[in-house]
Amino acid sequence: MSTHFDYLDHLEAQAIHILREVAGQFERPALLFSGGKDSITLVHLALKAFRPGKLPFPLVHIDTGHNFPEVIRYRDELAARFGERLIVRHVEDTIRRQGLKDATGKFPSRNALQTYTLLEVIEEFEFDACIGGARRDEEKARAKERIFSVRDEFGQWDPKRQRPELWDIYNGSIRKGENVRVFPISNWTELDVWSYIQQENIALPEIYFSHRRNCVVTPAGQLLAITEHINLEPEDEIAVRDVRFRTVGDATCTAAVESPATTVDDIIQEILIAKISERGATRLDDRLSEAAMEDRKKNGYF
């Protein structure tokens, strides 16, 4: 009798259960696909939940225009390989349409601007639920977010108005104009995601693995990829390093880590040894303030 289940089996079972609840409870759900390992894991789980049927939701990518080309290629190949619908909307267009001020500075990050495009796409397609790959271990504000997180018409999250979430009963009932963000891998840690990717043999964009790259070294010692989007200055320290990325966000603010890891196994070994939590190591803008994430969430960020 195979009644023994590993912790990854439990995490997988919970995620599939949540994805099927989304399909059962909502009229027009969407899966927010960033091209990062967490949303790739979500797609993998969704295929397990709904095959041989089609996914009951499209994949939606909010393209900052600052993405790594490897990630865009991966995204398009993935949608084609599984024959699923991909919707791409560009922050660039939102900036133009709404007359917003583009990000400026040396490392102009469009992370905050993504919110506007997301709200636009929600309105355009009348999405009532958006599935995202956020995890509670990413930082403190997320630790309290529900798996079904209700947002008002402005996409805002009110920590005081969260619904209690009991057992694994998910209340997705909403009023007109509201929508729900759903986080099926809330209870996974970074290491869990990597272990699952290893177990399931999930392919990832190349930038997750060690490669040689021209980087600029920030005063704090972080390595940023040199792309057309950052504004180099003559005194900047440039270095050629063997690096990998731990997240694949906006290329202007996603720092690389020096690493020889070329396989998932190598990466897991590195994570087990190094205990620097993911967001702390790689997101410049989160360092600005401890309350940064909380503020962005309240404003409708993923």
Partner 1 sequence: MNILKFITAGSVDDGKSTLIGRLLYDSNAVSHDILETLERQSRNKADGELDLSLLTDGLRAEREQGITIDVAYKYFSTTRRKFIIADAPGHVQYTRNMVTGASNADLAIILVDARQGVVEQTHRHSLVASLMGIPQIVLAVNKLDLLDYSEEHFYKIAAAYQELAEKLKLRNITFIPISALAGDNVVQPSANMPWYLGPTLLEHLETVEIEPEAASDAPRFQVQYVIRPKSNEWHDYRGYAGSLRSGSFRRGDRVLVLPAGIETEIVAIEVNQVQVEEAFAPQPLVLHLAHDIDISRGDTIARFDAQPIVSRDLEATLCWMNERPLRPGDRLLLRQHAATVKAIVKSIEYRIDVHTFEHLSDDKLELNDIGLVRLKTAQPLVFDAYKQNRHSGGFILVNENTYDTVAAGMLEEATELEPG
Binding site for partner 1 (CB under 8 A): 1-7, 9-11, 13-14, 16-17, 20-21, 23-24, 48-54, 56, 136-137, 140-141, 143-144, 159-160, 162-169, 171, 173-175, 186-187, 189, 191-192, 275-277, 280-281, 290-291, 294
Helix axes 190-200, 37-50, angle to 10 degrees: 50
- Give 63 or 285: the residue with its C-beta nearer to partner 1: 285
Fill in the amino acid letter for 166.
Answer: L
- Give 123 or 290: the residue with its C-beta nearer to partner 1: 290
Write the CA distances from 181 to 116, 138, 150, 195, integer angstroms. 16, 16, 6, 25
- Give 57 or 116: the residue with its C-beta nearer to partner 1: 57
Contacts within 8 Å (CB) and 24+ apart, 138-143:
138/277, 138/278, 138/279, 139/277, 139/279, 139/286, 139/293, 140/290, 141/291, 141/293, 141/294, 141/297, 142/293, 142/297
Are residues 102 and 95 in contact, defined by beta-carbon separation less than 8 angstroms? yes
Distance of CA 112 to the CA centre of its chain: 14
- Give 77 or 295: the residue with its C-beta nearer to partner 1: 295
Joined together, the tokens standing for residue 121 give 């796409």
Beta bridge partners of 89: 62
Least gap, CB of 195 to partner 1 (angstroms): 10
- Give 97 or 140: the residue with its C-beta nearer to partner 1: 140
Least gap, CB of 54 to partner 1 (angstroms): 7
